[in-house]
């Protein structure tokens, strides 16, 4: 057990053995029966392994659900009307070809933008490159 686990977790055999010993001490039961160089799960070990497997299954299902729930929200881009019409809209087909699963909503707006509020949950920024020149003064 420690051999394969250590390899899969990129840990040493000793680190896995110590972690198992600490867990067994914490629980007060043996999780493995050691016979020579081989180890076998005890009844308690099988019970814990099944609970952990179910727990990871719940985590994986919840992560999938959360990933899927975020797919329906459009990416809303608000910018000055001239920038929108002369620079962004001509490049939109290229972005949509690269990211067909992203729904884009454009808003022609203007005026000052306040960044003093800091990070707002629900918003995610990512860098992406579009071919073509940037408008004068634009930063990448």
Could you report the per-residue pLDDT of 66-122, keeping only the tens digit for each? 877 766 677 888 888 888 888 999 999 999 999 888 888 888 876 655 555 544 444
More confident residue, 102 or 124: 102
Highest mean pLDDT among 28-37, 64-73, 108-117, 130-139: 28-37
pLDDT band at 29 (very low <50, low <70, confident <90, very high): very high
Give the residue among 38, 21, 15 at the shortest CA–CA distance from 30. Answer: 21
Mean pLDDT of all residues belonging to the chain: 79
Would you state the pLDDT for residue 13?
85
The pair phi, psi for residue 39, each rounded to 5°, is -130, 145
Give the residue among 53, 112, 105 at the shortest CA–CA distance from 80. Answer: 112
pTM across the whole model: 0.48
More confident residue, 69 or 11: 11
Q: Which run of H or of E encompasses 43?
A: helix 43-69
* Dist. CA 79–CA 8, nearest whole Å: 48
More confident residue, 126 or 47: 47
* Dist. CA 91–CA 124, nearest whole Å: 21
Calculate mean pLDDT across residues 33-43.
91
């Amino acid at each position: 057990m420690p051999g394969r686990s250590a390899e899969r977790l990129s840990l040493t055999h000793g680190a896995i053995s110590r972690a198992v010993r600490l867990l067994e001490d914490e629980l007060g039961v043996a999780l493995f029966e050691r016979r020579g160089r081989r180890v076998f799960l005890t009844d308690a070990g099988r019970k814990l392994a099944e609970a952990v497997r179910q727990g990871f299954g719940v985590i994986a299902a919840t992560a999938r659900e959360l990933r899927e729930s975020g797919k329906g929200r459009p990416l809303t881009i608000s910018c000055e009307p001239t920038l929108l019409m002369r620079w962004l809209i001509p490049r939109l087909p290229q972005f949509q070809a690269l990211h067909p699963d992203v729904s884009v909503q454009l808003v022609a707006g203007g005026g000052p933008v306040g960044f003093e509020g800091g990070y707002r949950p629900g918003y995610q920024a990512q860098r992406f490159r579009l071919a073509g020149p940037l408008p004068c003064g634009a930063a990448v």
